[in-house]
Amino acid sequence: MKLAMISFTERGSRLCRNLSEALEMQGYCCEAYAMKKYAEPHQLIPLTKPLQEWTGEMFEACDAICFIGASGIAVRSIAPFVRDKTKDPAVVVMDEKGIFAISLLSGHLGGANDLAGVLANLTGAIPVITTATDVNGKFAVDVFAKKNRLYIENMTYAKEISADVLDEKPVGFYSDFPVLDQIPEEIIPVTKEQVFEGTNGMAVTLYPNIQPFKHTLHLIPKILTVGIGCRRGTDAAEIEQAVMESLSAAGFSIHGIEQIASIDLKAEEPGILSFCEKYKIPFVTYSKEELSEVKGTFTESEFVKEITGVSNVCERSAVLGSLRGRLIQKKKAAKGITTAIALREWSVEFE
C-alpha cells in the first residue's frame, strides 16, 4: 500500500516520523510530509504547495492518506476530491498525541478501517470505526469482496445487500467455487436448483449471466490468465478485440482476468502493453525454456516453434500464469493473434 502522511505541528511531526518508519517496516510505502518549519528537524518532506493541491495529488497517486491533526483539516482538504467509494483512497485521521485513529473515508474497499487498526496497534490509540456493519458485527459484502479479490459488478445491489443484512432480511449466496469457511448466519446459501424467497443475493461466479436471485450481485474472482501470441506490431485495438471475443465465447467477464501472459519475446510488445494499461491488467512473460516445461496437451505449431522456440505460446503461458491451473479455453486464432484462457484453482473464504 502506498501511503502519504502529513503533520502540522511539532508533536504531530514527531509522531508522523515515528509512524512512517514503523509502517515501512511492515511493508508500507510511505511518503511523510510536514509543514516547512517542522519538516527538517524530523527528516520529513516539506510541504511546498497549498494543502488542498497536495491532497489532490495524493488522491491520484496513493492508496491511503493519513492526516495527523484535526479532523476538520482533513475534511476540508479532501472535500473537492471525494468521488466514489470504489475509487477514493483510504483516509485516516490521527490526533497529534496518538489517542485516536479515525477511519474517515473508504473504510471497507479503500482499507481505512484496517489502516486505523494498524495505526492503533502501533501507538496504542483507540480506533474509531463508524461503518454500520462493523458497529453491529455483521457481514459486510465490500469487506468480503476485497478479501477475496472479487470485482463488485453493481454497487447499488451491494448497498441493498448491506441494508438487508442490517435489517435482518434474508440475503442469498450462490458460488461456483468451494467455500472453505462457515457461511455467516446472515447469509443463506442456495444452489442452482433452489428457489430463494428473498430479493437480494450474491453470486460468486465468472459468468455474469447467471441470475439465481431477483437482484443478483455478481462478485467476480480475478482468477483467469489469458495467454496471448501475436505478430510483431499488432495494434492494441486488435489485441483488445481478440481478448474480448475469447472471453465472450467462454461467457466470462473481463473483470475475471488476473493477468495477461506471453513469451518474453513479447515483453515490450506495444499493442499488448497498451491493452493491459487501458484495463489495468498485469502482464507477465516467460522464457521459451519455462514454457517448454509446462505439462499438458497443447495445440502444437511448427511455425510458432521456428519463430519462438516453443510450439505453443498462448496455451502454455496461460497455464503457467495460472500456477499450472486448468486450461478452460484452448487456442483461438484470428488476424494473427492467438488467445487461450486458463483458470487458477481458487476457493471462497469468509474468515
Quickly list DSSP for 182-223. PPPTTEEE--TT----SSEEEEE-S-TT---SSEEEEEEE--
- Which own/partner pairs from 17-20 qualify as long-range (CB within 8 Å, at least 24 positions apart)? 17/42, 17/43, 17/44, 19/66, 19/68, 19/94, 19/119, 19/122, 19/123, 20/44
Task: Please tell me whether residues 201 and 231 are part of one structural domain.
Answer: no
Average confidence score pLDDT of the chain: 94
179 DSSP 8-state letter: B
- Examine the fold and report which residue of 130, 152, 176 is the final residue of a domain before the chain moves on: 130
The reported pLDDT for the residue numbered 300 is: 87
pTM of the model: 0.81
- Confirm whether 148 is domain-assigned: yes
How distant, in Å, are the alpha carbons of 58, 156, 225, 254 from that of 248? 37, 25, 15, 9
The 8-class DSSP code of residue 337 comes to: E
Position 181 confidence tier, pLDDT thresholds 50, 70, 90: confident
The CATH number of the domain where 65 resides is what? 3.40.50.11220
Please indicate, yes or no, whether residues 146 and 49 belong to a single structural domain of this protein: no
**Is 350 a domain residue?**
no
For residue 7, being part of any structural domain is answered with yes
Domain CATH code at residue 251: 3.30.420.180
Which string of b and e fits 94-111 if b means at least 16 CB within 10 Å?
bbbebebbbbbbbbbbbb
Tell me: do 149 and 241 sit in the same domain: no
Q: Is residue 135 part of a domain?
A: no
259 band by pLDDT with thresholds 50, 70 and 90:
very high
Q: What is the pLDDT of residue 118?
A: 95
- The total domain count for the chain is 3
State which residues form the domain around 210.
141-220
- 253: pLDDT strictly greater than 90: yes
Domain boundary among 220, 237, 266: 220
* Residue 109 counted as domain residue: yes
